[in-house]
Amino acid sequence: MAEAHQAVAFQFTVTPDGIDLHLCHEALRQIYLSGLHSWKKRFIRFKNGVMTGVYPGSPSGLLVVLVGYMSTTKYAKIDPSLGMVTKLKYVTEEGQRVVGGVLIGTGLWIAVTFVMRNVLKCLLSWHGWMFNRHGSLNLKTKIWLVLVKLFSGPKPMLYSFQSSLPRLPVPPVKDTVRRYLDSARPLMDDEQYKRMEGLAKDFEKNLGPRLQWYLKLKSWWASNYVSDWWEEYIYLRGRGPIMVNSNYYAMDFLYVIPTTRPAARAGNSIHAIMMYRRKLDRAQIKPLMVLNTIPLCSSQYERMFNTSRVPGVESDVLQHMNESKHIAVYHKGRFYKVWMFYDGRLLLPREVEQQIERILADKSEPQPGEELLAALTAGDRIPWAKARSQFFSRGKNKQSLDAVEKAAFFVTLDDSEQRYDPENPVQSLDSYGKSLLHGKCYDRWFDKSFNLIVFKNGTMGLNAEHSWADAPIVGHLWEHVLSSDPVRLGYTEDGHCKGNSHPNLPGPQRLQWDIPEECQAVISGSLKVAKALADDVDMHIIPFKDFGKGLIKKCKTSPDGFIQIALQLAHFRDKGKFCLTYEASMTRLFREGRTETVRSCTSQTCDFVRAMMNDKATVGLSLMLLKVAAEKHQDLYRLAMTGNGIDRHLFCLYLVSKYLGEDSAFLKEVLSQPWRLSTSQTPLQQLDLFDLKKHPEYVTSGGGFGPVADDGYGVSYIILGEDLINFHISSKHSSPETDSHRFGSNIRQAMLDLLDLFQLDNKENNFKIF
């Protein structure tokens, strides 16, 4: 679509009189501006690297130290160089004083910075604050918080705390085995438990200590003893489809669509995403802080943009580019490359809308094999890896694939309409969730770090690849986009982006492909696999409006613990049995930390569920058991966050055993047990961006993921404001044991039943049912 001459800086013709050279001054100007932008970005990265490298010190701190040192030595009539530069014969005495003072003062500043950083690391290694009662801090914790603030530098940047974060500790084998047996007890009968206990004790005495030695050695050498292996073996070495099985999605606002013009919605959203990338490149995003003091690791942000998962026969790899100035767009079977910069600046929202309008107005047909091409990213990885090597390693196919894989991110202009329909809430939300999770299986590039999906009616959403980062990282970006779109950027009365279009803006570039029939056969095979997987997904989304966090807090119970126990009650009513349950927790209090598992199905929770299923059990007994179960759940969550979880430690011990060629019946059995209930809370991280009291209509829907086990459920939930909790439930139609809608009904009833135990008077608590 772009005119060819706009991409050419000069032309020449050979005549009898010589070579006639024609320069295109506009093209040369754009080249100059592009180079200027690149050098500015390099300088900013260098500056940020220096600022982060010396944190918690700062250039202003260096100046203070130098001035103070020079003034002190001058007042005391002491040689500031301490005699170190007296041999500089060709430098005046005053020059020697200055040079010596700068050298010694800088060394003093470096020493102070080093001490502050290590003191801060020691302070952050203490996690006793996690075990305070919710809502209260003891004197020891208050003093500790003051010290952390004191040794933290001013105005931290995104990566400022990285070198001050402690390393993830390796828990003792004895403690991990004990916690595992405690978690396995409610899921086994006496004979099964006795057998597992024997395997565990044998492992603890014999093979375990040897594996632990190697794991501790890695923990001393590597930044994090889990994360690299977790990324490689859990994500990148998986040979099955990543669509549904790994990728996850995020939804738009629940009740409103700011504009029904898809080009305008895409214009604002793409611009907001690019502005977020600019802040990310400049490290201007504030690091997340617990209690406004305790930093979380920010390393996962590094590969948010310009990243693609590249398939391999044995293992995939993550390809990350330092810079990308374009995005890739898909619409009705055609791929486009859209430049995001012109005249040395980022395109404005109306200019992005202009580019999207050009794509929507394009009536050209897809090239042979182009429409279904992205199905390769949705199917099994080995056929995609072989096809990529055979058909996309040279020529125009390589150039076009590079344009997709090296794009900042991927955009799909979906030709379907999705949104929450108050007249048909169940079917509309279920369809919306399935569309974001897998679409048509060929209209999302599932290998990109994330896909922005804009529907025909202006609704939008994200589909994100999981290996490079976890959901809270993508959630942070999405919160920025949703808060910027209708409020900060806004739209005109007729639904367009604010501002003016650009009369000279070059159009999007249509990508060219040459896909032979042999490759098209591979694409068809991948599409068949992906379609079977997508059609099997049973998705159900529940906006739970009966009550929310506000009322749960009045019960003096953790909202997360309350929901997890409700899920256990709902699951038992749904299947008549307990199951191994996965709840995702984070370990970002440590350097390069990612996630840990909270095993939510505890003996205490099972006791409570049995009491609820027993008509003879009193309300008082059930309430007491609920409180005990909730406290146990909180303890497990705290242990997981502070590096004392079960599953990551056992996972790494298992890998060490494989490297050593040792077989462990205990580890093999533990890691082969399926998670038939996989759960995750989507946290709302930037509360200051959303004022749900003033704008209750701007409530997001959260996001979800596919089922982990063929006969299990996947449940994601987000707590919004004081009165709303959204549940995203997934399972497989092919399993006779599961039904997402049935499970959703059981969740709703379980939530209400738990609340009834507290016998709260709705009127006294100003509780309002929507």
Take residue 453 and report the two structure tokens written for it. Answer: 């999906």
pLDDT at 368 over 60: yes
The count of other CB atoms within 10 Å of the CB of residue 416 is: 14
Given a contact cutoff of 8 angstroms between Cβ atoms, the answer to whether 549 and 722 are in contact is: yes
> With 80 as the cut, is the pLDDT of residue 323 above it?
yes
Burial profile 247-270: b = 16 or more Cβ within 10 angstroms, e = fewer: bbbbbbbbeebbbebbbbbbbbbb
**What pLDDT, on a 0 to 100 scale, did the predictor assign at position 658?**
94
**CB count, 10 Å around CB of 175?**
13
Q: Answer whether residue 95 shows pLDDT above 70.
A: no
Quickly tell me which residue has 């590039």 as its tokens. 445
For 89-98, 314-323, 428-437, 715-724, which range has the lowest pLDDT when averaged over its residues?
Answer: 89-98
Instruction: Say whether pLDDT at 32 is over 60.
Output: yes
Whole-number pLDDT of residue 298: 95
**Least confident stretch, 37-46, 578-587, 740-749:** 37-46
Instruction: Measure the CA–CA gap between 95 and 88, rounded to whole angstroms.
Output: 9
pLDDT for 63:
77
Asked if 283 and 680 touch (Cβ cutoff 8 Å), the reply is no
Which of 648, 720, 651 shows the shortest CA–CA distance to 684? 720
Q: What contacts 90, CB < 8 A, 6 or more positions away? A: none
**Higher pLDDT pick, 101 / 598:** 598
Q: How confident is the model at residue 41 (pLDDT cuts 50, 70, 90)?
A: low
d(CA 674, CA 765): 42
Q: How far apart are the C-alpha atoms of 339 and 351, rounded to whole Å?
A: 11
At 56, the pLDDT band (50, 70, 90 cuts) reads confident
Beta bridge partners of 142: none
Give the end-to-end CA distance of the chain in Å, rounded to a whole number.
51
Sequence-distant (6+) residues with CB within 8 A of 657 are 207, 211, 663, 664, 667
The burial of 154, by beta-carbon neighbours within 10 Å (0-12 exposed, 13-18 middle, 19 or more buried), is given as exposed
Task: Note whether 485 and 264 are within 8 A (CB).
Answer: no
Q: Please tell me the least confidently modeled range out of 36-40, 204-208, 617-621.
A: 36-40
3-class SS of residue 408: coil
pLDDT at 12: 53
Average pLDDT, integer, range 602-616: 95
Question: What pLDDT score does 671 carry?
Answer: 94
Complete DSSP assignment for 548-597 = -HHHHHHTTS-HHHHHHHHHHHHHHHHHSS---EEEEEE-TTSTT--EEE
Helices (H) and strands (E) in the chain, counts: 22, 22
Q: Between the CA of residue 155 and those of 152, 159, 592, what are the distances in Å?
A: 9, 12, 22
- Comparing CA positions, the residue from 670, 326, 333, 651 lying closest to residue 507 is 326
Give the C-alpha separation, 158 to 282, whole Å. 9
Instruction: Give pLDDT, residue 103.
Output: 76
Of 393, 415, 419, whose CA–CA distance to 405 is shortest?
393
Nearest-CA neighbor of 531 among 463, 441, 435, 446? 441
CB–CB of 307/468 below 8 Å?
yes
475: pLDDT strictly greater than 90 = yes
Residue pointed to by tokens 């200019």: 351
Average pLDDT over residues 245-262: 94
Rg (CA), the chain: 29
Handedness of CA 378, 384, 385, 389 (dihedral sign): negative
pLDDT at 231: 96
pLDDT at position 34 is 59
Q: Which residue is catalytic, options 271, 331, 438, 466?
A: 466
Query: Which tens digit of pLDDT belongs to each residue from 706-717?
Result: 999 999 999 999
% of the chain exceeding 70 in pLDDT: 87
pLDDT at 27: 58
Q: Is 107 helix (H, G, I), strand (E, B) or coil?
A: helix
Cβ atoms 352, 500 nearer than 8 A: no
Per-residue pLDDT, 487: 82
- What's the per-residue H, E or C state across 301-370? HHHCCCEEEECCCCCCEEEECCCCCEEEEEECCEEEEEECEECCEECCHHHHHHHHHHHHHCCCCCCCCC
**pLDDT for 766:** 45
Supply the pLDDT for residue 2.
Answer: 40
Reply yes or no on whether the pLDDT at 26 is more than 70.
no
* Pair 35, 29: CB distance under 8 Å: no
Least confident of 151-160, 170-179, 329-338, 673-682: 151-160
> Is 55 a residue whose pLDDT tops 90?
no
Give the pLDDT band (50/70/90) at residue 155: confident
**Tokens of residue 496, six digits:** 């367009």
Answer yes or no: is pLDDT of 425 > 50. Answer: yes
Tokens, residue 25: 């001054």
pLDDT for the residue 38: 63
Q: Which residues are within 8 A (CB) of 448 and not within 5 positions of it... i.e. 6 or more apart?
A: 307, 308, 309, 328, 404, 405, 407, 409, 410, 465
* Structure-token pair, residue 623: 């309430």
- Please give the Cα distance from 604 to 632 (Å, whole number): 7
The per-residue pLDDT for 763 is: 38
Strand 341-342 and strand 595-599: the pairing is unpaired
Lowest-confidence segment of 420-424, 635-639, 650-654 by average pLDDT: 420-424
pLDDT tens across 371-403, in order? 999 999 999 999 999 999 999 999 999 999 999
Q: Are strands 248-251 and 460-464 parallel, antiparallel or unpaired?
A: antiparallel
Tell me the torsion sign for CA atoms 588, 591, 596, 602: negative
**Banded pLDDT at 697 (limits 50, 70, 90):** confident
Question: Which residue from 307, 280, 331, 316 is spatially nearest to 453, judged by alpha carbons?
Answer: 331
Which pLDDT score, from 0 to 100, does residue 73 have?
66
pLDDT at 770: 31
At 3, is the pLDDT very low, low, confident or very high (cuts 50, 70, 90)?
A: very low
pLDDT band at 4 (very low <50, low <70, confident <90, very high): very low
Q: How confident is the model at residue 61 (pLDDT cuts 50, 70, 90)?
A: confident
Q: Which is nearest to 712 in space by CA: 741, 674, 670?
A: 674
Torsion of CA 727, 732, 738, 739, to 10 degrees: 60
| CA 76 to chain centroid | 56
Cβ burial 319-336 (10 Å sphere, 16+ → b, else e):
ebeeebbbbbbbbbbbbb
How large a percentage of the chain has pLDDT more than 90? 73
Q: Is the pLDDT at 460 greater than 90, yes or no?
A: yes
Identity (one letter) of the amino acid at 79?
D
Rounded to an integer, what distance in angstroms lies between the CA atom of residue 275 and that of residue 349?
A: 11
pLDDT at 137: 84
Q: β-pairing, 345-346 with 341-342? A: antiparallel
Q: What are phi and psi of 292, to 5 degrees?
A: 60, 20
The encoded tokens of residue 187 equal: 């899921």
Q: Is 466 a catalytic residue?
A: yes
7 pLDDT band (50/70/90 cuts)? very low
Do residues 649 and 176 lie in contact, with contact meaning Cβ atoms separated by under 8 Å?
yes
The CA-CA-CA angle for residues 590, 592, 597, to 5°, reads 70
- The better pLDDT of the pair 85, 316 is held by 316
Cα 626 from Cα 568, distance rounded (Å) = 12
Half-sphere exposure of residue 322: CA atoms within 13 angstroms, side-chain side? 5
Contacts of 646 (CB under 8 A, 6+ apart): 176, 179, 180, 183, 597, 599
Mean pLDDT of the chain: 89
The Cα-based distances of 387 to 141, 243, 520, 522 in angstroms read 57, 18, 10, 7
